[in-house]
Amino acid sequence: MADSPYPKHAVRPLVGRFLATYWLETPLALKQAAALIAGEQSSGTFVSVPGETEELKNRFAARVESVRQEAIVRCPSLPGCCVQENRRPTRFHTGTVTISWPEENVGHNLAALISTVQGNLYEIAQVSGVKLLDLTLPDSMLQEFPGPKFGVIGSRKAVQVEDRPLIGTIIKPSVGLTPDVTAELVRTLIEAGVDFVKDDELMANPPHSPFEVRCQAIMRVVNEVADKTGRKIMYAANISDEWDAMRRHYDTLVSLGGTCAMLSINAVGPIAAKAICDFGQLVIHGHRNGFGMLHRHPALGIDFVAYQKLARLIGVDQLHVNGIDNKFWEPDDSVVRSIQACLAEQSGQRLLPVVSSGQWGGQAFETYRRTQTVDLLYMAGGGIMAHPRGPAQGVRAIQDAWSLAVAGYSLDQAAKKSQPLAEAIAKFGK
């Protein structure tokens, strides 16, 4: 390689390849469509150009690693699919393909990595469906993206809770409460027994509840209780904001003894979110609002498995996964897969799955049956505040539900063992 024209700036050999797996639907052979994507997303353009030498192609081209054929369908999932002009295809191959890229195409650059695995490829006319299913980085890249700093273990340690899910709640109503009223509500919730309180994603830094004022009011309560009981609950303050403001909020939170900041990952975006995570002083609660836009159609966007991999590269510690029997569109199977994806170890860390949406404790049984884990942050909003006998009984109902679920009881059996749970069932159950 003495004659290599490439400068020697790399401090380590960049020999690894990163892999992305896609679900595709295409009138072409799957392998051919995958090759098109590989070309578009590495050195190709629509005609050959000078400079595109064989050496360069060999070194930098993306490669199709594997193809797995599934069904053939008759109807395209996405519009605009076209292979030959004036010919409408009538048979579409579906299946998964894995494409790999040399890590030296992107270096240590999350934005370049994202543009490579989920850039223009969604525009390709020769596919009628494309969804990013998974993303695998070589160890050499993972060393540069160490991922969550706190994860499951760090989150548990901060609130001193072992062997059961962390019980959390969202401050509701989302918008409109003054800082003082909010702080009093947080006092009620802490006294009710929660481990974790968070701002709604719609509550950030509005003039009627400026971040600093609200954070001071709430952390005063959190710290007071901690001084009394020796246990500080986690307040995930929503720092999502413009860059300078977000940094200021982070510092405010640290200076007030906060332990956790919440980010709306999609609204903030990968790079600012990563820069915040990189500060490393606070557990980061990753809210996925807007994920439905990227995920709800089965033939387009990104699957949660790939999404949580990106969230790890960003460095979040806790990530929303929706919940069993949720009020949204998502089926339980998908929620279970998301929980499992978060709890898989990567670089020695696991993401804490944040279970939420219409939860009140009754779903503990099915959640535990299907995931066999208590490594969860189990969030209930209305399920706590609207319990017929008040928030303390709301928390108690959820705690009882979880301990009885783990002990092997069904919901019906558990209702006979716990009065607060029986009351929750009467109000929230079907």
Taking CB under 8 A as the criterion, which residues in 186-225 touch its own copies?
201-202, 204-208, 210, 213
Place of tokens 């979040």: 316
- d(CA 329, CA 381) in angstroms, rounded, equals 19
Structure tokens at 412: 């019906």
72 binds its own copies (CB under 8 A): no
In the list 31, 32, 60, 225, the residue contacting its own copies (rule: CB under 8 A) is 60
Give the residue among 378, 387, 333 at the shortest CA–CA distance from 356. Answer: 378
CB atoms within 10 A of CB 310: 21
264 binds its own copies (CB under 8 A): yes
Q: Which of residues 127-166 bind its own copies (CB under 8 A)?
A: none
Structure tokens at 113: 């990595």
279 binds its own copies (CB under 8 A): no
In the list 26, 41, 98, 399, the residue contacting its own copies (rule: CB under 8 A) is 41
87 binds its own copies (CB under 8 A): no
270 binds its own copies (CB under 8 A): yes
272 binds its own copies (CB under 8 A): yes
Indicate left, alpha or beta for 151 from its phi (over 0: left) and psi (-120 to 50: alpha). left
In the list 161, 167, 218, 385, the residue contacting its own copies (rule: CB under 8 A) is 385
Using CB under 8 A as the binding criterion, the count of chain residues that bind its own copies stands at 115
- d(CA 183, CA 178) in angstroms, rounded, equals 9
- d(CA 130, CA 147) in angstroms, rounded, equals 27
34 binds its own copies (CB under 8 A): no
Where does this chain touch its own copies (CB under 8 A) — which range of 40-48, 158-166, 342-350, 398-406?
40-48
In the list 257, 280, 331, 388, the residue contacting its own copies (rule: CB under 8 A) is 331
**Shortest gap between Cβ of 265 and its own copies (angstroms)?**
9
In the complex with its own copies, which residue's Cβ is closer, 226 or 325? 325
**Geometric angle at alpha carbon 162, from 156 and 167, rounded to 5°:** 70
Structure tokens at 396: 């108690």
Q: Which of residues 340-359 bind its own copies (CB under 8 A)?
A: 357-358
328 binds its own copies (CB under 8 A): yes
Residue 217, CB half-sphere, CA atoms under 13 Å: how many? Answer: 17
For residue 377, give the H/E element and its range.
strand 377-379
* Amino acid found at 278: D
In the complex with its own copies, which residue's Cβ is closer, 6 or 139? 6
In the list 1, 3, 45, 162, the residue contacting its own copies (rule: CB under 8 A) is 45
**Phi and psi for 179 in degrees, rounded to 5?**
-55, -45
Q: Indicate the pairing of strand 196-198 with strand 166-170.
A: parallel
**Phi and psi for 138 in degrees, rounded to 5?**
-70, 160
- d(CA 22, CA 28) in angstroms, rounded, equals 15
86 binds its own copies (CB under 8 A): no
Partner residues linked to 132 by β-bridges = 22, 302
In the complex with its own copies, which residue's Cβ is closer, 159 or 335? 335
Q: Which of residues 394-423 bind its own copies (CB under 8 A)?
A: none
In the list 15, 68, 69, 119, the residue contacting its own copies (rule: CB under 8 A) is 119
**Shortest gap between Cβ of 157 and its own copies (angstroms)?**
28
Where does this chain touch its own copies (CB under 8 A) — which range of 37-45, 92-100, 152-160, 404-412?
37-45
15 binds its own copies (CB under 8 A): no
**Shortest gap between Cβ of 268 and its own copies (angstroms)?**
5
CB atoms within 10 A of CB 16: 17
Structure tokens at 252: 């405010």
**Shortest gap between Cβ of 7 and its own copies (angstroms)?**
7
In the complex with its own copies, which residue's Cβ is closer, 181 or 344? 181
In the list 100, 155, 322, 338, the residue contacting its own copies (rule: CB under 8 A) is 322
CB 276 within 8 A of CB 263: yes
